[in-house]
Amino acid sequence: MTLDELQPRRVGKLRAISLHFIRRELHNRYLGSISGGVWALLQPLIQLVIYGFVWTYVFNMRLPGAGATPVAIVPFLALGVWPWNAFSEAVLRSATVIQDNAGLIGKVAFPRGALVFAASSASFLLHGVGFIVVVIASELLGVPLQLVHLPLALLAFTLLFVLALGFGYLFAAVQVFVRDTSQVLAQLLPLMMFTAPVLYSRDYLPERFRAWLGWNPFTFYPEYLRAELLGIGTVGIGAQLAALVLAFAVLALGYAVFRRLDARFEDFL
Amino acid sequence: MNTVRNEATVATGGADLLAVARDLGKSYPKVFRRRDRLRALGKLLVGIDDLDSVPVLRGVNLDVLRGESLGLIGENGAGKSTLLKLLTGVLTPTTGSVEVRGRVGALLELGAGFHPEYTGRDNVAMSAALYGLAADELREKLPQIIEFADIGRYVDEPVKHYSSGMVVRLGFAIVAALRPDLLITDEVLAVGDESFQKKCVRWMEDYLAHGGTLILVSHSMYHIQKLCRHALWLRQGEVAAAGDVFEVTQAYLAYHERKSVAAPDRGIIAAQGVEFHLLGLAANDLEQETPVFLNQGDTLRLTARVRSRDGRPPTVAFGIARVDGTAVYGVSSEMDGIAPQRLDAHTWVAEIVFDDLTLLPGAYTVKAHPMDTEGVRLFDTIERGIVVRGSTREFGLVRLHHRWNDAPAQVMAQNGADSASSSSS
């Protein structure tokens, strides 16, 4: 057997392992409990209803060029909250996944990167389903969504996955050496959320602060999704390219760090 | 680090080497405080790999040919498990390289990697994926695995409900179905009930008969000798002996015999300030704890250095005994009227040479004792192990000088009366 013939076999093995890990991730998080499957669908809907209520009647937030009805505000929020949930959960879960599987790593040889990949994928799968549920719900409630742009939205979601995976590899590797990493992350992630237009629109900020949001790597995603699906605001081609380059740069960096530290995980777990 | 993981590399023809290790070493980093971890992280990130570490395995060379099983022996903490983990690819070597060509099956801790919350069937699927089995291969082998494990309806119960015996059955069944090129196993066959053990042994025999290769860690020399052709003895992370299974196991047993005699600490003896004590004993210039290997008919040279408190010349006695303690020969300088040589005011040296060594193959202990000038009081002992190699079928301890007479005339004359007078042997 030559090397070329071996390559597909290795890829096949990696795929099989990743699929198993993804299944376990999903199983552990939701599907293991009796109400799990239902809960996975119900939770985003309940969350959305609450957000809609609070934003409309408590904070009295108005969309640029739209009325203050819960119906209008809900998809606006959804396009910020779902990507964020997927992203932050993927990063947090990935960060501890190597440490959590120390037992397995110490006994069986397998490509450990699959664990990180599975943790991130599971988060995006779950919240991807939630996202689709929300889109359908909005459509049924009569909010005009530009569904022709849905493929573009899913592409942006995929790019966000690339970004999350990059951070995931990075923090998963660092966590093995510095155990406080995940705690620090849990503190920093909400900060990242509030400095990105997840729960608000950039227009609500005073003029001099608006440009600052551009430094947050997450800002691009809710703005792009809202522009494409709701037609609120625009995102320039420059920002799109920057997001693309950044996501793959983070993935390259994260994976490089992971590869470099991988061989020493056993010694420090 | 040019490590080739065991994923799916297959021998590329030529000599059918299954596992190769060259100058293989493993060190574990010393990490006690949080700062150590941070420093280690920083170093590794900039590509420096010289962490402050404790070596557990050093300079191991290993060649395992297809079909030639290897036994690993050594005391607890000698590095056997580390070596196995390096071979399975769980650990990455610190120095040197290790390469395994072909599929490796590991029976280290049976059920390692099983998740207690999942059913046996789920865990089988997971293990199979980790071993690199594709989904269709698994589908094909699943019935076989379930049949071999023979745990009935439990296969669809969570593994946490299993008895330890059932976990073992399932773990073994997976490896059995994989038919790995190289099977690495710890002493795990001693679990499970009688009938399952028999099943395992039958499978193992069949596996070995069909060209399977085994790396076995065991404290049972019987099993090592029965299943392996080669053995490797690890001592404090280094190879103490490697080669033919009988030689290595004998040397290992000899070492244990000597160790259990509990040799007194040399430092303590020196501090006691007795009249005479040994500074060292070398066999063929080698002053080592591990046995010295010789061939039948070689020259054995024993050199003892003695310190004399009062500067009086010592008498030095040398002895050879079989590992079980049976004395073979002993002699002292006083008996032969020889005086040890003086090196300085308080140090003396005596050397005895056995040319054309007549010891039969086996493991022996050589000893040296310093005695007082008169050859009466005995003060100290150092022992060394030697192993004599050879393939003779003679038995006993030494080859006695002998000859066979051809047709003794008087016997012929007596015409078969009493043949006991034959002077042979």
- Other Cβ atoms within 10 Å of B418 Cβ, number: 8
Token digits of residue B292: 């010295």
Q: Name which of A106, A109, A260 is nearest B89 (Cβ-Cβ).
A: A109
Chain B 7-26, CB below 8 Å of chain A: which residues?
Answer: 7-10
Cβ contacts from A onto B, under 8 A:
88
B5 and chain A: CB distance < 8 Å anywhere? Answer: yes
Determine contact, residues B283/B300, Cβ cutoff 8 Å. Answer: yes
Q: How confident is the model at residue B228 (pLDDT cuts 50, 70, 90)?
A: confident
Q: What confidence score (pLDDT) does residue A120 get?
A: 94
Distance CA B88, CA A176 (A): 22
Q: Are residues B100 and B181 in the same domain?
A: yes
Determine contact, residues A228/A159, Cβ cutoff 8 Å. Answer: no
Task: For residue B244, give its domain range.
Answer: 17-250
B45 and chain A: CB distance < 8 Å anywhere? Answer: yes
- What pLDDT, in 10s, does the model give residues A157-214? 999 999 999 999 999 999 999 888 999 999 999 999 999 998 888 888 888 888 888 8
Q: Name which of A6, A32, A174 is nearest B41 (Cβ-Cβ).
A: A174
Helix A70-100 / helix A181-194 crossing angle, nearest 10 deg: 160
8-state DSSP, A210: H
Distance CA B345, CA B309 (A): 9
Q: List CB contacts of A135: < 8 A, sequence separation 6 or more.
A: A75, A78, A145, A147, A150, A229
Which of residues A224 and B383 earns the better pLDDT score? A224
Q: Are residues B286 and B327 in the same domain?
A: yes
Q: Are residues B289 and B148 in the same domain?
A: no
Looking at B250, B282, B298, the residue that finishes a domain is B250
Q: What confidence score (pLDDT) does residue B14 get?
A: 45
Distance CA B99, CA B3 (A): 6
| B129 belongs to a structural domain | yes
Instruction: Tell whether the model's pLDDT for residue B119 goes beyond 70.
Output: yes
- Closest-CA distance, A138 to chain B, in angstroms, reads 38
Q: Are residues B238 and B300 in the same domain?
A: no
Q: Are residues B218 and B364 in the same domain?
A: no
Q: Name which of B41, B85, B113 is nearest A177 (Cβ-Cβ).
A: B41
Average of per-residue pLDDT across B365-392: 85
| B44:A104 CB<8 A | no
- What pLDDT, in 10s, does the model give residues B235-290? 888 898 888 888 888 888 878 877 766 555 666 666 667 788 888 899 888 887 77
Q: Are residues B144 and B282 in the same domain?
A: no
Q: Determine phi and psi for A222, rounding to 5 degrees.
A: -60, -35
Looking at B199, B218, B250, the residue that finishes a domain is B250
* CATH number assigned to the domain comprising residue B216: 3.40.50.300
Q: How confident is the model at residue B209 (pLDDT cuts 50, 70, 90)?
A: confident
Instruction: Tell whether the model's pLDDT for residue B11 goes beyond 60.
Output: no
Which of residues A72 and A24 earns the better pLDDT score? A24
- What pLDDT, in 10s, does the model give residues A100-131? 888 888 888 888 999 999 999 999 988 888 88
Positive or negative, the CA dihedral B190, B196, B201, B206 is: negative
What residue spans define the domains of chain A? 13-268
- What pLDDT, in 10s, does the model give residues A4-15? 444 556 677 788
Average of per-residue pLDDT across B201-219: 85
Q: What confidence score (pLDDT) does residue B12 get?
A: 41
Distances (CA, A) of A269 to A88, B36, B86: 24, 14, 16
Q: What confidence score (pLDDT) does residue A118 get?
A: 94
Q: Are residues B98 and B167 in the same domain?
A: yes
Chain B 132-151, CB below 8 Å of chain A: which residues?
Answer: 132-135
Q: Which long-range contacts (CB under 8 A, 24 or more apart) does A265-268 make?
A: A265/A98, A265/A105, A265/A112, A265/A173, A265/A176, A266/A105, A266/A106, A266/B85, A266/B90, A266/B91, A266/B92, A267/B28, A267/B29, A268/A176, A268/A177, A268/B29, A268/B31, A268/B37, A268/B40
| B60 belongs to a structural domain | yes
Angle, vertex CA A211, rays to CA A210 and CA A217, nearest 5: 105
Q: Are residues B275 and B316 in the same domain?
A: yes
- Residues of chain A contacting B40 with CB distance shorter than 8 Å: 177, 264, 268
pLDDT over 70 percentage in chain B: 88
Q: How confident is the model at residue A2 (pLDDT cuts 50, 70, 90)?
A: very low
Q: Specify the 3-state DSSP secondary structure of B218.
A: coil
Q: What confidence score (pLDDT) does residue B8 get?
A: 36
Average of per-residue pLDDT across B369-390: 84
Which of residues A188 and B220 earns the better pLDDT score? A188
| B11 belongs to a structural domain | no
At position A25, the amino acid (one-letter code) is: E
Q: Are residues B138 and B52 in the same domain?
A: yes
* CATH number assigned to the domain comprising residue B278: 2.70.50.60
- Closest-CA distance, A102 to chain B, in angstroms, reads 10
Q: Name which of B1, B40, B106 is nearest A177 (Cβ-Cβ).
A: B40
Interface of A with B (CB under 8 A): 1, 6, 9-10, 12-13, 16-17, 19-20, 24, 32, 103-110, 174, 177-179, 257, 260-261, 263-264, 266-268
| B112:A108 CB<8 A | yes
Q: Are residues B295 and B174 in the same domain?
A: no
Determine contact, residues B108/B72, Cβ cutoff 8 Å. Answer: no
Determine contact, residues B23/B96, Cβ cutoff 8 Å. Answer: yes
Chain Cα centroid distance, residue A128: 9
| A13:B7 CB<8 A | yes
Total domains in chain B come to: 2
- What pLDDT, in 10s, does the model give residues A229-255? 888 888 889 999 999 999 999 999 999
Q: List CB contacts of B45: < 8 A, sequence separation 6 or more.
A: A257, A260, A261
| A109:B5 CB<8 A | yes
The answer to which of A158-162, B226-230, B398-402, B416-420 has the lowest mean pLDDT is B416-420
- Residues of chain A contacting B133 with CB distance shorter than 8 Å: 16
A11: closest chain B residue by CA: B132
- What pLDDT, in 10s, does the model give residues B297-352? 899 999 999 988 888 889 999 999 887 778 899 999 988 988 899 988 889 999 99
Instruction: Tell whether the model's pLDDT for residue A65 goes beyond 60.
Output: no
Average of per-residue pLDDT across B364-385: 85
Q: What confidence score (pLDDT) does residue A71 get?
A: 58
Question: DSSP for B286-354?
Answer: B--SSPEEEETT--EEEEEEEEESSSPPPEEEEEEEETTS-EEEEEETTTTT--PEE-SSSEEEEEEEE
Q: Are residues B110 and B154 in the same domain?
A: yes
* Maximum alpha-carbon separation in chain B: 96
Token digits of residue A67: 């009325």
Instruction: Tell whether the model's pLDDT for residue B4 goes beyond 50.
Output: no
- Closest-CA distance, B197 to chain A, in angstroms, reads 23
Helix B194-209 / helix B164-178 crossing angle, nearest 10 deg: 20
Beta bridge partners of B20: B63, B99
Average of per-residue pLDDT across B158-183: 85
Determine contact, residues A53/A91, Cβ cutoff 8 Å. Answer: no
Q: Rounded mean pLDDT of chain B? A: 81
- Residues of chain A contacting B89 with CB distance shorter than 8 Å: 109
B114: closest chain A residue by CA: A104
Distance CA B158, CA B339 (A): 78
Q: List CB contacts of A181: < 8 A, sequence separation 6 or more.
A: A95, A171, A174, A175
B48 and chain A: CB distance < 8 Å anywhere? Answer: no
Q: Determine phi and psi for B5, rounding to 5 degrees.
A: -70, 160
Residue (of A237, A155, A168, A224) closest to A196 by Cα position: A224
Query: C-alpha dihedral over B206, B207, B208, B212, to 10 degrees?
Result: 160
Q: Name which of B89, B118, B134 is nearest A16 (Cβ-Cβ).
A: B134
Q: What confidence score (pLDDT) does residue B7 get?
A: 36
B47 and chain A: CB distance < 8 Å anywhere? Answer: yes
B44 and chain A: CB distance < 8 Å anywhere? Answer: yes
Q: Are residues B97 and B224 in the same domain?
A: yes
Distance CA A247, CA A257 (A): 15
- What pLDDT, in 10s, does the model give residues A27-42? 877 655 656 667 767 7
Distances (CA, A) of B165 to A76, B122, B159, B168: 57, 18, 11, 5
- What pLDDT, in 10s, does the model give residues B65-91? 888 889 999 888 888 888 988 988 888
Q: Name which of A10, A13, A263 is nearest B92 (Cβ-Cβ).
A: A263
B43: closest chain A residue by CA: A261
B36: closest chain A residue by CA: A177
Token digits of residue B134: 């594709």
Q: Determine phi and psi for B215, rounding to 5 degrees.
A: -115, 115
| B308 belongs to a structural domain | yes
